[in-house]
Structure 1
Amino acid sequence: MGFHEIRFPTALSFGSVGGPERLTEIVALANGHEERNTPWAHSRRRYDAGIGMRSLDNLAELIAFFEARRGRLYGFRWKDWADHLSCGPSGVPGPGDQVIGFGDGSATEFALTKTYASGGADYVRPITKPVEGSVRVAVDGIEVAEGAGFTVDPTTGLVSLNVTPGSGLVVSAGFAFDVPVRFDTDAIRISAAGFQAGEVPDVPVVELRA
């Protein structure tokens, strides 16, 4: 898929509205009970980029970004201000934040993930767009240095360790990350007069699946 490794202007995304979306299929049975299932293994995030526009200069910046992506043609990075760290929103990512795998004596590559846990259940989300320079990694609780101990591909989220971790050793990571998205429209319609009168443009953005 066409993807530009550029982040949507964070000053504009800060005021956006959006979050995770799930697809649940519900079948009502004759006895009044119901069956629930989902064809989606992972949630999908949607945002409205238009909410963050505060001035005509903001609109000009949005239009330039939209045109450079050719509307829906090319994907881009998006900072979800409510969920962009391996730790809590007010924390600082540390190398022990997220368990991303266990050594088996041969594997050296591990994909970044973030686990959401509540009430004994959890969901493991793949992280494919870490922020370059933000990734910290530990093996068996001991941090290893980027470059000397590991490398990470910021376009895929794949961590490569320079030394094979022993069998059963925990590999963990902390990081900041973006969401891979695209515009979900090929048209932006707004008038300068309407915007100054409080009219907000509708600019939907949707998460891309790998």
Structure 2
Amino acid sequence: MSSFLEERLPLDVRLGASWADDYEVLITTTAGGAEYRKLVHPFPVRSFHVSFTGDQADLWARVMALYHRAYGKFAGFRVRCRDDFSTNGLTGTPTPLDETLANSATGIYQLRNFYGTNGTALAGVGYPARTIYKPVASTVVAAKNGVTISSGLTVDPTTGLITIAPAPLFTDTITAGCQFDIPCRFNSAIEMTALSPSVRDCGSIDLIELLQP
């Protein structure tokens, strides 16, 4: 049974949603009050909290149907964050020069999006990256050494891997941009409240990002 559904949580029911990025940090406090902090992973993990009110029939056909197809917390799905869905300034039109990808000798590259600053990636703290596993295929653009790649570019929208043929040299600089969804799963049951015979209110749906969908 597949543990990921290549479909998107309906956009129009996410009005009123809130989201947050967090980092896994282990904090130990000594008896004297000193803190020792360990960064478990250097990339953000996003969570969403969704509340909405909708027509009962529409609610069942859209949100509840996805919830049941996913078997609740079992399977993942795509979520588009209205404030962060592009490698170009969070919401801009992607360009081939948006993000520098890691060097590869095989011609296969993983899409990613950096946070915290602009420009060249920096070593150490202050420039974490989110691996883009679920790009919107039609929006992916790439460049080699600053020149847009117009042919030989293949995109896998289920993994975020792009293939360039013929394979560039290891010393070539490959950059890319795209729109993307965030792979998530339900992190709570869906509780409904009947406001009228035809209207249902959902006060809380929690979603959590999948780091390895």
TM over 0.5: yes
Unaligned 5+ segments in structure 1 are: none
Query: In the alignment, which of 170, 174, 180 is matched to residue 171 of structure 1?
Result: 174
Q: Aligned ranges for residues 179-198 of structure 1 at < 5 Å?
A: 179-185=182-188, 187-193=189-195
| Runs of at least 4 residues off by over 6 Å | 194-198
Aligned equivalents of 1:37, 1:181: Cα separation in 2: 25
For the residue of structure 2 that corresponds to 1:133, the secondary structure is helix
> Whole-Å Cα distance in 2 between the matches of residues 107 and 68 of structure 1?
37
Counterpart position of 1:10: 11
SS of corresponding position for 1:46: strand
Q: What TM-score comes out, normalization by structure 1 length?
A: 0.86
The AA in structure 2 aligned to 1:130 is: P
CA contact (8 A) 1:14 1:81 kept: no
**Structure 1 position 188, deviation (Å):** 2.0
Q: Is contact 2:53–2:200 with CA below 8 Å preserved after alignment?
A: no
**Runs of at least 5 residues in structure 2 that lack an aligned partner in the other structure:** none
C-alpha separation in 1, matches of 2:165 and 2:52 = 42
Partner secondary structure for residue 116 of structure 2: strand
The structure that is strand-richer by fraction is 2
* Aligned-partner Cα distance in 1 for 2:21–2:197: 28
Q: Contact between 2:84 and 2:91, CA under 8 Å: does it hold in 1?
A: no
How far apart, in 1, do the equivalents of 2:168 and 2:93 lie?
A: 25
Displacement of 1:100:
0.7
- 2:100 is aligned with 1:99: yes
Q: How far apart, in 2, do the equivalents of 1:113 and 1:201 lie? A: 33
* CA RMSD in angstroms, aligned pairs only: 2.5
Structure 1 residue 199: Cα displacement: 5.5
State the 1:168 CA deviation.
Answer: 1.9
Q: 2:138 aligns with which of 91, 115, 133?
A: 133
Quote the Cα distance in structure 2 between the aligned partners of 1:99 and 1:195. 53
| TM-score normalised by the chain length of structure 2 | 0.85
Secondary structure at the aligned position of 1:102 is classed as: coil
Segment drifting more, 76-85 vs 117-126 = 117-126
Q: Deviations over 1:35-73 (max 9, x none)?
A: 111323432211123x24454455332112212222112
Partner of 1:11: helix, strand, or coil? Answer: helix
Paired residue total: 204
Q: Counterpart of 1:181 in 2: which secondary structure? A: strand
Matches within 5 A, 1:1-210: 2-49=3-50, 51-60=51-60, 61-102=62-103, 106-118=105-117, 121-145=126-150, 148-185=151-188, 187-193=189-195, 200-210=202-212
SS at match of 1:122: coil
Q: Counterpart of 1:178 in 2: which secondary structure?
A: strand
What amino acid sits opposite 2:109 in the alignment? F
Q: State the one-letter code of the partner of 2:106.
A: A
SS of residue in 1 equivalent to 2:66: helix
Shift of 1:177: 0.4
